[in-house]
């Protein structure tokens, strides 16, 4: 039986709030999506006959403009190629130093056609939010590349075909979970903000613990843990009465954040996340980095049965490629609401048991934009 939440009032977000910037000790880097966008813009400018000065400027999703060095560029006939070397900052990223390459050619139709070349994986299974058979270039990088190339094409009556490739990308992909997810032949072109922040380090864990301590020092009692920038912006819009200091991008360090919250005597935690992270938490895994834990689709299949789904649907969920695939199956069957609430209920139970009941937990499942609440469960202390 679902209980109505008490405490902070949750509401659907209107407009996303401005993303805040926190000081971090570790050096940030650039996503493969940012590097691909810069390479594509450089190649397009060269194709138009413009002189490159060794660098190119692109826009990030936040609106910030950044400059990238162009490692090399060349033009031949109706094609041009440019290379940007990825700098992942202090994140232990297997693609650090990769030569992200864009080859651009004219096409008669206006607009930008995007494809993947050598070293960019091909999607072979559903559940990734990408077309099966297409290149593993995620939606935000696609938008960034299109925007960057469109800037370079301003005034042209024709469009271009952009092919992103990564030499040695297939070798790099062996150190990732791509093959298990059905991405074959190379890496994925990733990124949601354009910036790599070192989530998977001891220093990032320390920054999460510090953020909780700062919040507690200001007399706040409700901690809102978010798995990333999109979920944080959504959480801020859903909980507009809470001060900014209450919101912590926890990354993969939920357990560390909860332990620090208990140390400071906090009473309430709201966890906002997407289906993948919530599934891991529901299984009792509080260190959720992808290299250290896997999504249990069996758990999601069990939820499907408990919420009245057919055995056929439950079997499909059991065998789902990813948590996102299971989410899509729930949505297609009209069970996203009840299954989402049950997933949140299980996560709340895990969080409360982890803290020996010291924290009352409320859990919110959001969609893949991070802005829309699709499931919620909680019992906050008054």
Closest CA to 44 of 56, 35, 32, 33: 56
* Structural tokens at position 302: 């069990």
Q: What is residue 338's predicted lDDT score, i.e. its pLDDT?
A: 96
Asked whether residue 378 carries a pLDDT value surpassing 80, the answer given is no
Contacts with 76 (C-beta within 8 Å, 6 or more apart), sequence order: none
Closest CA to 262 of 299, 223, 226: 223
Once rounded to an integer, what is the mean pLDDT over residues 99-127? 94
Q: What is the pLDDT of residues 298-330, one digit of tens each?
A: 999 999 999 999 999 999 999 999 999 999 999
Asked whether residue 290 carries a pLDDT value surpassing 70, the answer given is no
* Structural tokens at position 318: 């059991």
* Structural tokens at position 109: 């139709």
Q: What is the pLDDT of residues 46-68, one digit of tens each?
A: 999 998 989 999 999 989 999 99
Closest CA to 19 of 250, 235, 271: 235
* 249-252-253-258 Cα dihedral, nearest 10 degrees: 70
List the CATH code of the domain at 29-196: 3.30.2110.10
Q: What is the pLDDT of residues 120-174, one digit of tens each?
A: 999 988 888 889 999 999 999 999 999 999 999 998 889 999 999 999 999 999 9
Distance CA 70, CA 45 (A): 12
Distance CA 324, CA 276 (A): 7
> Taking the domains of the chain in order of start, what are their residue ranges?
29-196, 202-378
Binned at pLDDT 50, 70 and 90, residue 43 comes out as: very high
Binned at pLDDT 50, 70 and 90, residue 177 comes out as: confident
């Amino acid at each position: 039986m679902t209980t109505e939440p008490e405490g902070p009032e949750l509401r659907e977000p209107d407009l996303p709030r401005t993303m805040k910037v926190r000081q971090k000790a570790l050096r940030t880097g650039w996503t493969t999506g940012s590097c691909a966008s810069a390479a594509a813009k450089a190649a397009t400018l060269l194709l138009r006959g413009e002189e490159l000065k060794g660098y190119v400027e692109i826009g990030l999703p936040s609106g910030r403009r950044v400059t990238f060095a162009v490692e090399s560029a060349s033009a031949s006939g109706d094609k041009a190629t440019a290379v940007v070397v990825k700098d992942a900052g202090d994140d232990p990223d297997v693609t650090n130093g990769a030569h992200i390459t864009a080859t651009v050619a004219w096409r008669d139709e206006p607009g930008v056609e995007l494809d993947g070349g050598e070293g960019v994986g091909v999607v072979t299974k559903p559940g990734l939010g990408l077309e099966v058979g297409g290149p593993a270039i995620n939606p935000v990088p696609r938008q960034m590349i299109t925007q960057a190339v469109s800037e370079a094409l301003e005034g042209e009556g024709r469009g271009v075909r952009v092919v992103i490739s990564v030499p040695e990308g297939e070798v790099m992909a062996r150190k990732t979970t791509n093959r298990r997810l059905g991405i074959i032949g190379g890496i994925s072109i990733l990124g949601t903000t354009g910036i790599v922040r070192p989530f998977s380090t001891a220093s990032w864990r320390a920054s999460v613990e510090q953020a909780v301590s700062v919040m507690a020092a200001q007399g706040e009692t409700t901690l809102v843990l978010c798995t990333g920038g999109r979920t944080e912006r959504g959480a801020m819009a859903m909980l507009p009465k809470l001060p900014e200091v209450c919101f912590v991008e926890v990354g993969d360090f939920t357990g560390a954040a909860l332990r620090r919250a208990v140390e400071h005597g906090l009473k309430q935690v709201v966890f906002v996340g997407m289906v993948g992270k919530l599934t891991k938490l529901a299984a009792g895994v509080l260190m959720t980095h992808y290299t250290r834990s896997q999504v249990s689709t069996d758990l999601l299949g069990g939820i499907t049965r408990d919420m009245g789904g057919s055995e056929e649907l439950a079997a499909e969920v059991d065998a789902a490629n990813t948590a996102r695939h299971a989410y899509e199956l729930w949505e297609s069957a009209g069970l996203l609401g009840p299954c989402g609430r049950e997933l949140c209920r299980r996560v709340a139970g895990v969080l409360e048991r982890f803290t020996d009941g010291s924290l009352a937990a409320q859990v919110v499942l959001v969609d893949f934009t991070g802005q829309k609440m699709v499931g919620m469960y909680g019992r906050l202390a008054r």
